[in-house]
Amino acid sequence: ERERERGERYEKVSCCLLFAAAEGKGIQLTASFTMSGEWCLIESDPGILTELCERIGVKGVQLEELWTPDASALEQLHPVYGLVFLFKYGGEKEKKAPIKHEVEGLYFAQQLITNACATVAIINILMNSDEVDLGDELSEFKGFTTGLPADMKGLAIGNSETIRSVHNSFARQEIFSIADPNQKQSEDAFHFLAFVPHNDRLYELDGLNHAPVDHGPCDGNWYAAASAALQERIAAFGSDEIRFNLCAVVKDRKLVYADLLEKVRAGDAVAAASHSEEELISLIAQEDDKRARREKESIRRKHNYIPVFLEAARQLARKGKLMPILADAKAKQKSRIAEAKAKQSTA
């Protein structure tokens, strides 16, 4: 039996898997699964998402943030394997319905775990690119799950200890959280989905749907097709909504520039026409700097600063300075609230 509401975690799933053994005989297994723990929220940050891919074992890819969905922006990052789109969930006025038929060779996993949408979107992209080196972990995972239905693929993701532990390694440190059962949730919910090309058609892979969404033929240029689909999705929210984020899953830019540099030095006229040797050396250095900056940000993000804050408060209290600071902060807060109310009354 399976119990689920859209977007909620599977508490317990009993399923039957039917697959063929090596000698071609059908073997039926009945298994009972329990989801392996909670999954944290992660930021839509290209550095975080790149590190997530690398720590799962994927090689030669990175994520780059895009400030516009224009096809020209995608062409500058060629090759692009897929797009990760973040938006306010439930804010659209209308959207296309998922397809009702299976697409041969298209890998699609549903999202069966709360907060796992970013990881599911990225996995759906990686699994659909023959050019990506998935590494041992994801290659084995793909081999096991390829023949399974979309919900069973999602179930397998939820029960992968490697994927879950890597995902949860990006959790923010918190001192404590207070849950008020009488307080309604006021924060907006945001969701990640993916866009990928497959057999010269553009597909939207939303883990909360039961199937992919077909956005039509690409006519040999999936960047233009993706740009049109994204602009259509954004327009469906109305002009008041501007909270979107778009990341491209691309080939490691340092590898791209290194390949071009090798061609330029070998006398390739086409490569030399687009970049000079000095420019490529500079671009490689910029990528090194970006990686170092992202690594530093990742360390700071994961570091537990709570003991430092608590010890600082303890030392201030011992010196008799904590309460005056607290009183001053409260006074400033009251002043800001009074100013805000005054502006509202005069508006």
Report how far residue 117's alpha carbon sits from residue 134's, in angstroms, rounded to the nearest whole number: 19
Task: Based on the residue annotation, tell me whether 15 is a catalytic residue of this protein.
Answer: no
Tokens 């590494």 -> residue: 135
Q: Which helix (H) or strand (E) holds 142?
A: helix 135-145
> Which residues face 248 on adjacent strands?
64, 83
Question: Quick one: tokens of 53?
Answer: 């891919």
Q: Which of 16, 40, 53, 117 is the catalytic position?
A: 117
Radius of gyration over every alpha carbon of the chain, rounded to an integer in angstroms: 24
**Burial tier of 252 (Cβ tally within 10 Å: 0-12, 13-18, 19+):** middle
- Buried b vs exposed e over 176-203: b needs ≥16 C-beta within 10 Å? eeeeeeeeeeeeeebbbbbbbbbeebbb
The question of whether 215 is a catalytic residue gets the answer no
Asked if residue 172 lies in contact with residue 102, where contact means CB atoms within 8 angstroms, the answer is no
Looking at 15, 16, 78, 191, which residue is catalytic?
191
Q: How many CA atoms lie within 13 A of 285 on its CB side?
A: 6
**Is residue 1 classed exposed, middle or buried when 0-12, 13-18 and 19+ CB atoms within 10 A define those classes?**
exposed
Which residues are part of the catalytic machinery?
117, 191
